[in-house]
Amino acid sequence: MIGQRLYRARKAAGLSLRDLGTKIGFSHAAIKKYEDEQSVPTSTTLLKLARALNVRTEYFFRPETVALDRIEYRKRSSLPKKRLEAIEHEVIDQIERRMELENLFPMPPSVPFALVPQLPDLVSDLAQIEDIVEAVRKAWNLGYDPIPDLIDVLETHGIRVFMIDANTDPKFDGLAASVNQMPIIVVGSNWPGDRQRFTLAHELGHLMLADRLAAEIDEETACNRFAGAFLIPRQSVTQELGAHRSYIEPKELALLKEEFGLSMSGILYRARDLGIVTPAWRDEQAKLFRIKGWHITEPGKPYPTEKAHVFEQMVFHALAEDYIGESKAAELMQVSLTSFQMVRALEGSDAATHQ
């Protein structure tokens, strides 16, 4: 057990056998023996390994392991294999803690994911996606209003959302996978909120459109259309912009972004897709965005980042019901006992968890 977990923690840290050995003053051969279960590290060595790998010693003894199935990266080819492995191992660690926590409850605290019924078996035209989105929003009682907390909506319907620090991975645009038939979505914790929301909605599109698209329809294009429509449905776009426009003020786009959490560029695509503006005018605006650098950083304040509070809330729920004690709660949240006690007492800032 320790060997497998040591291997995974090392991969998550992006360290080679030699790198880890150097950090704790051991040879790479000694680390390899630990990973191959040919030797068992002492408690002192485990402490050194835990510090070097930025994990708690309890991590090495966690009983349950999981495997990611059907992993899909939106830009997988752009990331080095070493970093992909690190991301996957980091995600697995979060999922394990989440599953361990959920299993403490007598009744499952999360509902299983289910497809919305009565969606069309075949999507042969991208315009059909507008109707699909409306069916999903209706089934989930979302109406046509902005969605202020998208992560909460997804979690409520059985999709687990995890966050990683993706500052060092500008090419990482999100990950979707499943664990025990449970869909998960991973986004960067430090991305602007509109990027997080588009990625979350895009991956939801993959779930809802799976095996429905005609052969001639590109899946990524279809999921982009789904994401934009899910964040600002056509009724809302038409109500805000009108049926036809020859020009849209950039300030209008900025205000809609602030309201609905979709980028200015994304709103331009919505206006084009719905025939409010011509494709040629949208392309002209895209060129203008590139000239001004808005294709990288749009003007105005960034849209607030999404907050993944479900895991932390479940920890305190389990603590209140005496399913766990403070020490286990601190372990699950990956903070020291002292830090956890301060958070519990509402003294100081919130604990920084990855969920």
Residue 242: strand pairing partners: none
Alpha-carbon gap, residue 32 to 18, rounded angstroms: 9
Category of 112 on φ-ψ map: left (φ > 0), alpha (ψ -120 to 50) or beta: beta
Q: Pull the structure tokens for residue 162.
A: 């995890």
197-206, 309-318, 341-350, range with the lowest pLDDT: 341-350
Per DSSP, 306 falls in state P
pLDDT above 50 for 351:
no
Alpha-carbon gap, residue 177 to 162, rounded angstroms: 11
Q: What pLDDT was estimated at residue 106? A: 86
Per DSSP, 123 falls in state B
Q: What is the pLDDT of residues 200-235, one digit of tens each?
A: 999 999 999 999 999 999 999 999 999 999 999 999
Q: What pLDDT was estimated at residue 220? A: 92
- CATH 1.10.260.40 range(s) for the chain read 1-61
Q: How many residues does the chain have?
A: 355
Residue 81: partners with Cβ closer than 8 Å, 6 or more residues away: none
Q: Kindly list the strands in the beta sheet with 69-73, ordered across the sheet, starting from the edge strand earlier in the chain.
A: 69-73, 175-179, 182-188, 160-164
Alpha-carbon gap, residue 198 to 298, rounded angstroms: 15
Question: What band does 353 get if pLDDT is binned at 50, 70 and 90?
Answer: very low
**CATH assignment of 1-61?**
1.10.260.40
